Amino acid sequence: MLTVTLRHEVYFPGKVKVTVHLWQASLKCPKTSYTVTILCSCPPGKRLRYEYPYVISMEDYLHGNPKDDTFRKRPLLFDLEVNYRPPSKYGIAIPMSPHVYNVDPSKPIPRNMFQVSQESWRFKQCAGKQSQDECNCTDMMRYSNLAKYSDCKQRVYRVRQASGKLPLKFFLHTDEMEVLMTSPYVITLEEVNGREDYFVQNTPTPSLDAMISDDRLVNRSEYLDPNTAKIIMQGSGLYHFRAKVIPGFSYCELEDELQVFIDGAVLPYPLQMIVIVSVSILIGGFLFVIYLWYLHNHHTHRTIRIGSRCQKLH
C-alpha cells in the first residue's frame, strides 16, 4: 500500500501526474508502472449566484408586474428609459459610464452634451445596428445582470430611497446542489459604472479579522463577509455591482453581478434645506395670520374709570 499526499498552499488550478514503477512485477515486461492523474480545476456548473430580498421568477421579471408584501404593494421592478446611463460623481447630467442600458440605436443618447459623456460610452450587443430589433436580444440577455448584456437590459430591481439598503446573499451553485455561501468565504465588491455614492456595512468574522490583520495580503480593507454585508446607497438611479470571491477559496473564479435602481430619491443639498426653510416660513406665516384674525374677531370692550366719571371706550 502506498499513500501519496498532495498539498497546495493556494487554490490555483493545475494538473499533476504521479507514476508508480513496480520493479520486477512482470516476467515479460522489464518495467511495470501505474500512472495516476490528479486534476485541480473548477467543477463544471459551479458558479456564484446572488439572490435579491424578493425572489422574482424569469417569467415575472420579463412580462409580469411583481410587487412587495407591504400594505402599499409597491412594484419590485423599474423600467429603464431608452439608452439609459447611470449618474456619475459629477451628477445625473454628466454620465461617464461605458455601459448603456436598454439600447435603441435609432434613438438619441440622453444627457450627452459634454465631451466626457460623448467619449465614454459604447454599444456592445447593438454595435453597428440600426434598430433595437436588430440587436437580437434574447430573454436570457434581458434577464441577466452581467455588464456584457447591458444593451439588452430593460428592467431592474427597484428599491425605495427611504431605505436605500440592499443585503447581500450569495449561493454556491453546482450541478448537484446549492448552498448558502458563508464564512470563511470572503468577497470583494466594486461598482462597474464608477459610482462612489455608496458604502458597505459589514460585520467582521474571526476569520475575516485574521485576514485583514495579515500584512501579506493586499486590498484588505475591501474584504467583506458575504453573509453579513449590506450596501447602503446614498444617491439615485442605477447601481451595478460586481462581487468576486477572492483567490484562495476555490479553484473557480467565482463572481456575480447585481443591479438595483434607487427610486424616489430625496432632494439634493442644499435644495432640500431651502425647501424645508421655505415651508417652515410659510406655515409660520399662516399660523400668525390665523392668530391676528382670532384677535380681531374676539376683541372685548372694557370700561375704564376716568376721574369721577365712567366712559365707554370703543
Q: Is 195 exposed, middle or buried (0-12, 13-18, 19+ CB in 10 A)?
A: buried
Global confidence as pTM: 0.76
* Predicted pLDDT at 302: 61
Q: What is the C-alpha to C-alpha distance for residues 55 and 282, in angstroms, rounded to an integer?
A: 45
Torsion angle (degrees, nearest 10) of CA 225, 228, 234, 235: 70
Does domain 47-263 correspond to CATH entry 2.60.40.1080? yes
> Residue-wise pLDDT tens for the chain (314 aa)?
888 887 766 667 778 888 888 887 888 888 888 888 888 788 888 899 999 999 999 999 999 999 988 877 889 999 999 999 999 988 888 999 999 999 999 999 999 989 999 999 999 999 999 999 999 999 999 999 999 999 999 999 999 876 778 999 999 988 888 899 988 888 999 999 999 989 998 887 887 888 888 888 777 778 888 888 899 998 889 999 999 998 878 888 899 999 999 987 665 556 667 888 889 999 999 998 988 888 878 766 565 565 555 555 55
* Predicted pLDDT at 182: 85
Question: What are the boundaries of each domain within the chain?
Answer: 47-263, 271-312
Q: Terminal CA-to-CA distance of the chain, rounded, Å? A: 123
* Predicted pLDDT at 143: 95
DSSP 3-state helix, strand, coil percentages of the chain (rounded to 5)?
20, 30, 50
Question: Which three cell numbers mark 307?
Answer: 376721574
Question: Which three cell numbers mark 209?
Answer: 479579522
Place of cell 421655505: 278
